[in-house]
A and B are shown apart, each in its own frame.
Chain A
Amino acid sequence: MPETFQIHEEQQGAVRIFRLIGFLDAHTAPQFEKALQAKVAGGDCRIVVDGSALTYISSAGLGVFMSFIEEVREVDGDIRIGGLISKVRQVFDILGFSEIFRIFPTAEEAVNSFAKPDAGNVAMAEGE
């Protein structure tokens, strides 16, 4: 079977960009989880996920986002998402992820948003 999922990582200033390519499902989610884990453990907590080449996401893939968000926000970091194609964006919306994550039209805007004064984490700030 051909490679169905790839991650390209890139550092832009203080922001770590994860460009996800292909299918993020129960089979490929551990790969993404490992990559995120490595950065978060190393203290890189300003993370942008570039979803422009992400063609499919399943609930297991969404679970990866959830499992790190609290941890990075505790140290004033965030996971912000940019460039989702409409089908994937729909999944984020249906599940209510757009209430928790800040989602931008493009990855670039997501990266730039870190430079601006923090508008506050939409959901979590109130919750706890």
Chain B
Amino acid sequence: MRKLEWLLLAILAIAGLGYVASRANQFDPVAVHGPVRSVAFYESVARASAAQFGASVSGWPVTSTTNRGNIMRLVWQRDLVDRGWRLHSPYSVLVTFNGPENQVCRVSVDASGAPVGFYRGPRDPDAASTSTGQQASPETVERARAIALEAFRSKWRSASGLLPEDMRFQLTADGVVEGRDIRFEWTSNADPAGMLAWKIETSVQDGAIGRFALFPLPLEKLREREQEFERTVAPAIFVLIALGVAGLVWALVLTILNLSRKRLPWGFAVRAAAAVGTAMLLDLLLGSELNEQAPDWYLNPQLALTLLTVAALNVGIATVLICAGRSTRAASDFRRWLGVEDFLRLDWAKASVARAFWTSGLVAAFWVAMPYVVSAPFQNLLFDSPTRRALGLSIPMADTLASVGSIAVLFAIAFAFPLLKAYVKWRALRGFLAVAVGAAAASVEMTIDLPWQAALVSSLANGLLMVYTYTRFGVLASVLGGILSVPLARALFLTVNGDVTMQTWGIASLAGASLVVSIAAVLDLRNPAREQEQMLSDEEMVEFQTESERSLVTQRDQMLGEFALAQQAQQRMLPSHPPYVEGFDISAICKPAQQVGGDLYDYIHLHDGRWACCVADVSGKGVSAALYMTMTKGLLNALRLERADLMEIATALNQRLYEVIRRRSFVTMSLAAIDPATRSIEVLRAGHLPMLHVGLSGEATFVESKGMGLALAPSQVFCRNLSAATVKMQPGEVAVLYSDGVTEAMNGKREEFGEDRFAQVVANERSRTAIEIRDQVMDEIQRFQAGAAVHDDITVLVLKASERAENSQ
């Protein structure tokens, strides 16, 4: 079934492209002009024409720019074309010969290869000083008239080709002296519909033609028609623009909110911006519409600044659209975004990207064919966007990303569709809205050259197409397809309709695109892991789960709030300051790895008056560890009232914990009871790391003694394996209790902080106060971890035998 669908789609796409190619020249209003020419052709025509006007331009550098669409609406008037009242193609190429001393010669050549304009003189004629009041002698005017008449007779006829029989020209300005120019002007009668006349203007300067121009003169009736048209479409355009702007603002707000709430990774936004920026830069360099109209834009700082600002704005808009869609997409849309994610991570060999690449070829074919196939029933279509675009000078890649059409496609597919999917629950309504948005986006690129019925049908069909490709192929394939349809159409037209140079470009582009599509298809189909790669990785699964939990966000926030309270409560459970013990300086700290932790330290006033310091670590993490930790603290404080002996306390504690925890977890603990009278510490370790003792000369020893972890075994076993040790403390000596978070703290290379490093730090700092030693240990650990993930709570409790009786916080 799947295979059948692919086959059917491929056949449809190829048939559609074939249909477009077969009718390529029928849509062109200037069908007589022959193939779409490359710039070299226009330049040779311009050169010949300049020579005919008597301008010598050999050796002058040439720049060519396109001038298209400015009189499109004249051609759009069907009856003008039918009556032959259209004298030349609406497209022209302006060839400029840049001479020395700011002298230029400009020749305008229409798409059919007829010169329709000529100028020679200073680059900026307004700036050149015009000496007024100069009188030309009647002989000079007479001679000029002869030259102008000659030009009129010979040039405009060749420019206009076949003229309608009822077209007549009249001399309307005869020898008007303007500075050094003597101007002549011929105006035609209006066409039978009364919409358009033509004008020929020539200026003779120093016995040669200085300016020649053939241009249309729209009459009142045509202007009224145009205004009427504008009035009808203006509200629709206004609504579209308003919706677009509102959507963009919304997208911007969503992006910022999601970035700040960390629901959208910064990495994604940065990668998206980089990808769009790269494409935009290529577009600008390889020949966008802007570039074509001002090929030397980068030499003009002001123009360059404007262009780059516009490009940056476009990059921003595109990025925001992608980011907003990515952060609002519903969980069920995840797979459709897989291609985008992998593409931005440059994992282009992955099945998700390879598949998107080759299906985007399919999608682009549909995009190209759709308007033609849909509007086939409408007879005598004039021309449409792809034809218009085919007449460019640059290679067919141009004009893709920077166009409003591309932004509209991105708007619909990357932003509006995910939004609808996430928020509109009613399926029928969602489908309807999606098609409407798609149609609106498609109509942005539509030009007025289709009859409105065709435009409507074509837009709706494109809307449907967008929804289908989004659903079926995902975001990357449909966006790429939509955007690449423009160069694809252009390449197709050039291949069918171009001259040799343009055909070469067209064929090369088509071949390049086919190659990419084929490689991607082979990569995809022969990738043994293609199914797995469509699956989610563990990381993505975690992300996916958090996303599907988005509706539970408020609950989660509440829980986080409770966790924060639990953390505060737990921190409050730790003693706020150490007890006063004569001859000892004590300080401790506990830094939990998660919000609630399993480490504990406490000071217990024993029955016999001694103070005992305790550091304990509950195995496991999070809430259960925190609960056992609380229980341990409670039990310890209850037991100290009954007993003074450390071994007895530990055994009793083990018994209670064993009864409750029953090996689901266990607790390790060090207990150190300080006897100020003898300046000694009795220390016991229940499965905990041995106490560190640092002598006066800095020698470090770990005080070993026997002992199992608490809650692992019943009392008899625990008791049998338990012993205590006693350490005499000379003034200035240091003892440290700590949790395994200290010695097992890891850096990015998974190296452990280790006992040796720990002992070394304490030994180095032994002359300082307890609080300073404590802080130094914490600092060194933090420096060692250097930002690596912290997995375990870290607890340090420093006991320092002081010289005098003193205490510090």
Taking beta carbons and an 8 Å cutoff, which residues of A are in contact with B? 4, 23, 25-27, 58-60, 62-63, 66-67, 69-70, 94-97, 99-100, 123, 126-128
Contacts and interface: CB of A to CB of B under 8 A. Distances in A.
A95 B663 contact: no
Given A59-B617, A60-B621, A99 B717 contact: yes
B703 to A, nearest CB: 13
Interface stretch (B359-367, B560-568, B631-639, B664-672): B664-672
Contacts of A99: 708, 713, 717, 721
Interface string B601-622: 0000000000000000101110
B740 A59 contact: yes
Given A26-B620, A67-B664, A95-B709, A58 B717 contact: no
Contacts of A126: 714, 716-717
Nearest to A123: B717
With a 10 A CB-CB cut-off, give which of B619, B689, B690, B718 has the most chain A CB atoms: B619
Query: Which of A69, A70, A94, A100: most chain B Cβ within 10 A?
Result: A94
Q: In the complex, which range does the number of interface residues on chain B fall in?
A: 20 to 34
A63 B709 CA distance: 11
B792 interface: yes
Nearest to A63: B619
Nearest to B598: A59
A59 B620 contact: yes
A7 B608 CA distance: 51
7 contacts: A26-B620, A58-B744, A59-B668, A60-B621, A66-B712, A67-B664, A97-B708
A127 B617 CA distance: 24
Contact of A62 (B619, B714, B718, B791): B619
A27 B791 CA distance: 9
Interface of B: 617, 619-621, 663-666, 668, 685-690, 707-709, 712-714, 716-718, 721, 740, 744, 750, 791-792
A60 B665 CA distance: 8
A10 to B, nearest CB: 26
A60 B689 CA distance: 16
Chain B interface, >50% SS class: loop
Contacts of B620: 26, 59-60, 63
Contact of A63 (B666, B689, B690, B718): B666
Contacts, number: 76
Nearest to A126: B716
Nearest to B593: A26
Contact of A23 (B663, B685, B750): B750
B663 A70 contact: yes
A95 B617 contact: no
Contact of A60 (B619, B685, B713, B716): B619
B713 A127 contact: yes
Contacts of A97: 708-709, 712
A87 B675 CA distance: 34
Contacts of A96: 686-687, 707-709, 712-713, 718, 721
A65 to B, nearest CB: 10
Contacts of B687: 94-96
A60 B622 CA distance: 12
Contacts of B740: 58-59
A121 B776 CA distance: 46
Contacts of A66: 663-664, 666, 712
Contacts of B792: 58
A-B interface, 4 closest residue pairs, ranked by CB to CB distance from nearest: A96-B708, A59-B619, A127-B714, A95-B687
B717 A26 contact: no
Given A59-B617, A66-B712, A25 B721 contact: no
Nearest to A60: B620
A66 to B, nearest CB: 5
Contacts of A25: 791
A89 B685 CA distance: 18
Given A58-B744, A59-B620, A97-B709, 7 more contacts: A59-B740, A62-B619, A63-B619, A96-B709, A96-B721, A123-B713, A127-B713
